[in-house]
Amino acid sequence: MHDYTTLPSTGLPTLPKAPSGIEGLDEITEGGLPLGRPTLICGSAGCGKTLMGIEFLVRGILDHDEPGVLMTFEESAAELAANVASLGFDLPKLQADQKLRLDQVHVDRAEIEETGEYDLEGLFIRLGHAIDAIGAKRVVLDTIEALFSGFPNQGVLRSEIVRLFRWLKDKGVTTIITAERGEGTLTRQGLEEYVSDCVILLDNRVIDQITTRRLRIVKYRGSTHGTNEYPYLITEDGISVLPVTSLLLNHAVSNQIVSSGTPALDEMFGRRGYYQGSSVLITGTAGTAKTTLAATFAHEICRQNQRCLFVAFEESPQQLVRNMQSVSIDLAPYLANGLLRIEATRPTLNGLERHLVTLHKIIKDFKPAAVVIDPISNLISVGNLSEVKSMLTRLIDFLKVNNITALFTALVSGRSLHQELTEDGVSSLVDTWISVRDLEGIGERNRGISILKSRGMSHSNKVREFLVTDQGVQLLDVVVGPGGIVSGAGRLAQQQHEQAQLLTAQQEQQRKDRELERRRRVLEATIGNLRTEFETVEEELRRINDEELTRQQTLVRGKAQFTQPLPLQSKRQSNS
């Protein structure tokens, strides 16, 4: 008996599941394969049915300590062990540790006809013994067509198929049964898919000379699951399924700011740079310095002692380093100390899904703070617009979940500079969209940069002209002429005109200053003359006042002398 969990919303039990351990598959199956029930994996030759079954067993042993039995009807145990050794699966060691039981069953139609009636009773005994010997929880039967090749009677065949699936359920083991795809049916017999609790269809298709493998969950009894087709890859680490619609927009965000490496460009943003963990898209026509801006950003990340991954689809690492040195962006030291890693390949080397898985692996190993892809428009050569957008959507979500700042460049045609969607259809997915363009004047070509959008912060609405100099990218000040913003020779003419006007204004100001100084001197001279004249008058008045005062004093003294009495002796003399 298996333990059932309960749904919080309804209180009803949910189907128990066994994690497959295959990257991405557990996500789209919402937990794994049905526990204790058979799962059918069907597909054409070369799509990885056997490998998926073996990885299911190995991951169960290594990650969940669940022993397993692999019963094969085509390849020998030695052949299987050799085939999966390159993936790091050591089947002989797992056998020695009594965690894995390999059993090859040889089925020969001629021998069966000689012995007469044929059924699966012997298989049940043999498989049951293998399960009981190591206490197996997982079983893989590969492939079922070889097992049923001895049944000429279709009625008996159907009966035995149903009996096999019922026996596996009763045994309580989680089972994967592989089957080859039939004509118009999922399997050759057309019955296994009906009696299986879960059916996974693998498809290997070639489109425009590019091989793509797709996986689809056809049915899953008792559980919801992803219903789309999902690309998957077979790599040196096993099978990797890349879901699209199962990704949720619930990642954390950061308020930290990351510099673009160009101070003048940072000033065009309200927060002086990009948000950490955001995605930035730089679009423009050929020759508008997209790679230079991307390399400037990568250089700034490394200068902050953080790791940066630079994926180049057009230049080799040596060429990129040499070209950037011409504009004083020296990437070589950061390559030497391991802060910068340049991955340079042609897009046509792999399909889109292979590129995505490769990036996932490199990012997990290298753990960069920022990723630069230059340019994403080259991916059009290995997929259509829908596939490229799907791949970039998953990549952007993966980078956001890991709080990695992403910068993409994309080539656009001149006629679509102002279109809402770029040729890759990802401008709506990114957080910041920067446009670099040609500013064509009379007989010259200049470069301009503008910010079309920046989520979460204010930004400049101006088109700034910039130069690519031997000191890097240099943004020029905005010059406005009679007809609007001017650039190039028009900028120089406007600046010369403004300088001439400034010089004229300065000369006029100097003339006015001289006239003012002259008038000041005249006024000061006039004031001096008036002061001298005033002093003369003042002195004359003071003299007259002094003379009048002296005369008044003299009169007062004389009057005082006449009014004084005679002496007493004189009076007596007169009386006698």
On whether both 185 and 264 belong to a single domain, the answer is no
Q: Please report, for the domain that includes residue 417, its CATH number.
A: 3.40.50.300
- Tokens 């997929």 identify what position? 383
Judged by DSSP in three states, 479 sits in strand
Whether residue 468 sits in one domain with residue 484: no
Q: What are the tokens at 357?
A: 């898985």
When divided into structural domains, the chain yields a total of: 3
Residues 276 and 224 in one domain: no
Whether 431 is covered by a domain: the verdict is: yes
Number of neighbouring beta carbons within 10 Å of residue 175: 28
C-alpha to C-alpha distance for 43 and 202, rounded to whole angstroms: 5
From 61, 149, 74, select the one nearest 101 (Cα to Cα): 61
Q: Is residue 105 part of a domain?
A: yes
Alpha helix ranges (H) inside 77-120: 77-84, 91-96, 109-115
**Which residues lie below 8 Å from residue 90, measured CB to CB, with a gap of 6+?**
none
Residues in a beta bridge with 18: 33
Cα angle, residue 226 at apex, residues 221 and 227 outer, rounded to 5°: 85
> At residue 22, what are phi and psi to the nearest 5 degrees?
-85, 125
Q: Are 470 and 432 found together in one domain?
A: yes
Position of tokens 């609790």? 197
Query: Which tokens belong to 200?
Result: 């996974």
- Domain residues for the domain of 29 are 13-109+120-241
* Residue 568, in any domain of the structure: no
With respect to residue 550, please indicate whether it lies within any of the assigned structural domains.
no
Could you give the dihedral angle defined by the CA atoms of residues 466, 468, 474 and 476, in that order, rounded to the nearest 10 degrees? -30
Residue 537 lies in a domain: no
Given 525, 541, 556, which residue is the final one in a domain?
525
Residues 331 and 185 in one domain: no
CA separation for the pair 439, 455 (Å, rounded): 26
Q: How far apart are CA 203 and CA 215, in angstroms?
A: 6
Structure tokens at 311: 């994926």
Does one domain contain both 498 and 427?
no
Query: Which of 455, 478, 501 represents a domain boundary (last residue)?
Result: 478
Is 152 found in the same domain as 68? yes
Number of neighbouring beta carbons within 10 Å of residue 133: 12
Q: What 8-state DSSP symbol labels residue 303? A: H
366, 464: one domain: yes
CA dist., res. 281 & res. 434, Å (int)? 6
Q: Which residue, among 363, 405, 410, has the nearest Cα to 389 in the 3D structure?
A: 410
Q: How far is residue 151's CA from residue 137's CA, in Å, rounded to a whole number? A: 29
pLDDT of residue 161: 80
Residue 160 within any structural domain of the chain: yes
Chunked in runs of 10, what are the mean pLDDT values of the chain (576 residues)?
49 79 87 92 88 93 93 85 86 92 72 52 87 93 74 70 88 92 76 85 77 87 85 81 60 89 93 94 90 95 96 92 94 95 85 80 92 88 76 86 92 56 66 89 80 92 88 78 54 67 86 90 89 88 87 81 61 51
Residues 145 and 56 reside in one and the same domain: yes
Q: Taking a C-beta distance cutoff of 8 angstroms, is the pair 61, 67 a contact?
A: yes
Residue 150 lies in a domain: yes
CA distance 313 to 373: 8
Structure tokens at 298: 């990568």
- Alpha carbon of 133 to those of 64, 126, 128, 146, 284: distances in Å? 19, 11, 8, 25, 66
pTM of the model: 0.67
Which amino acid, 8?
Answer: P
Between vectors from CA 269 to CA 267 and to CA 272, what angle results, nearest 5°?
Answer: 60
3-state helix, strand, coil in the chain (%, to 5): 45, 25, 35
Of 454, 478, 502, the residue that ends a domain is: 478
- The reply to whether 231 and 294 lie within a common domain is no
65: left (phi over 0), alpha (psi -120 to 50) or beta: left
Whether 562 is in a domain gets the answer: no
Radius of gyration of the chain (CA): 47
Torsion sign, CA atoms 189, 191, 196, 202? positive
Beta bridge partners of 275: 257
| Six-digit token string for 107 | 């089925």
Instruction: Cis check for the bond before 231: say yes or no (omega within 30 of 0).
Output: no
Q: Which of 141, 107, 125 is nearest to 38 (CA)?
A: 141
Do 51 and 154 belong to one domain?
Answer: yes
Residues 454 and 516 in one domain: no
Which tokens sit at 262?
């160009």
The pLDDT value recorded for residue 154 is 66
